[in-house]
């Protein structure tokens, strides 16, 4: 597989941008070039020189997906469009790399393995779970199941730094536990699986390191970014939901068991090191 034989779908998102950086020769396709919910246009697209589709496109507004329009939009791109890509992958003998989420689980288990039965709580999670099932129909597929993605775009770390810059002490939940995943790590892992011709299937992927709550991730971000006087105010998930409307339910445990990909020889960087690197890259010029 040559990088020029890769197509990156959703090339303008957080992950898409990182993929384009690492695979500059790949064909980068954003929504303006191909709207994946236009199923006719997707089928008619020229896939002939493609060996690998990396699908980084998704509806990712977790709370927005709970609205009546959001529900439709999320299902179109996160589920039906993926079924179409799986069909295309099968008929053109293309490898399909698809990205999944910890939100396909209800978070009752403390450490999610790849073979845990799907149990999504939210509309977003349900639509992504349907997408996983669809992607797994392609005989040559890698489903990368990831959590708390941080890259170039809208994400928790950026939001929290923006609040601190405006002198706001954020209120953050203490009882949702997981690990962030930096887009650099996701791309590294995809590249590893492709280069190693790893067995097809689903792979969990987050950064390594100690499990952390969103509140402690905010604290670590402030510590590393030098916001000495900005406090993080703790709140439980239950109290957070009581105070707000239209918030989608989220799993309390988002921790992904990394032993499958690590047993093949890929060990992701510790999230604290990645966070430090990210803050230095994003906020110093």
By CB under 6 A, name the binding residues for ligand NDP. 10, 12-16, 31, 35-37, 56-60, 77, 99, 101, 128, 146-149, 153
Whichever of 149 and 217 has its CB closer to ligand NDP, that residue is 149
User: Which residues are known to be catalytic?
Assistant: 124
Which is nearer to ligand NDP, 13 or 120 (by Cβ)? 13
Instruction: Please report, for residues 37, 89, 159, the alpha-carbon distance to residue 51 in angstroms, rounded to integers and kept in the order given.
Output: 22, 9, 37
Contact 28, 48 (CB under 8 A): no
Q: What is the DSSP letter of 223?
A: H
Q: How far is the CB of 228 from ligand NDP (least distance, A)?
A: 27
Select the residue whose beta carbon is closest to ligand NDP and give its number: 13
Q: Minimum distance between the CB of residue 22 and ligand NDP, rounded to whole angstroms?
A: 14
- Candidates 1, 29, 2; CA nearest to 16 is 29
Q: In the bound complex, what is the minimum distance in angstroms from residue 192's beta carbon to ligand NDP?
A: 17
Q: Which residues pair with 7 in a beta bridge?
A: 27, 53
Nearer to ligand NDP by C-beta: 46 or 242? Answer: 46
Cβ 229 to ligand NDP, closest distance in Å? 28
Q: Find out whether 274 and 221 touch, Cβ atoms under 8 Å.
A: no
Nearer to ligand NDP, 72 or 137 (CB): 72
Between 33 and 242, CB nearer to ligand NDP: 33
Closest CA to 148 of 157, 137, 136: 157
Distance CA 187, CA 82 (A): 20
Contact 238, 161 (CB under 8 A): no
Between CA 44 and CA 88 the distance in angstroms is 10
Give the DSSP H or E segment for 7: strand 6-9
Rounded least distance, CB 134 to ligand NDP, Å: 13
84 half-sphere exposure, CB direction, 13 A CA radius: 20
């Amino acid at each position: 597989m040559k990088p020029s034989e890769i197509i990156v779908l959703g090339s303008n998102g957080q992950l898409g941008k990182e993929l384009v950086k690492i695979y500059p020769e790949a064909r980068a396709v954003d929504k303006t070039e191909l709207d994946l919910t236009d199923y006719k246009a997707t089928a008619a697209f020229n896939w002939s020189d493609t060996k690998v589709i990396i699908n980084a496109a998704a509806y990712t507004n977790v709370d927005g997906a709970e609205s009546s329009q959001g529900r439709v939009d999320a299902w179109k791109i996160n589920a039906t469009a993926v079924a179409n890509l799986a069909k295309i992958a099968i008929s053109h003998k293309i490898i399909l790399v698809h990205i999944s989420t910890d939100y396909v689980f209800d978070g009752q288990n403390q450490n999610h393995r790849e073979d845990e039965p799907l149990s999504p709580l939210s509309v977003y999670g349900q639509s992504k779970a349907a997408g996983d099932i669809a992607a797994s129909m392609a005989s040559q597929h890698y489903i990368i199941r990831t959590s708390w993605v941080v890259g170039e775009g809208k994400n928790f770390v950026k939001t929290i730094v923006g609040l601190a810059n405006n002198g706001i002490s954020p209120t953050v939940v203490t009882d949702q536990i997981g690990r962030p995943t930096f887009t650099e790590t996701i791309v590294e892992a995809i590249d590893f699986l492709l280069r190693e011709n790893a067995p097809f299937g689903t792979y969990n992927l987050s950064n390594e390191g100690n499990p952390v709550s969103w509140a402690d991730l905010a604290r670590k971000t402030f510590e590393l970014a030098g916001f000495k006087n900005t406090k993080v105010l703790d709140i439980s998930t239950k109290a957070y939901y009581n105070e707000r409307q239209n918030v989608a339910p989220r799993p309390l445990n988002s921790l992904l068991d990394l032993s499958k990909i690590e047993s093949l020889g890929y060990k992701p960087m510790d999230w604290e090191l990645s966070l430090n690197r990210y803050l230095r890259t994003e906020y110093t010029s």
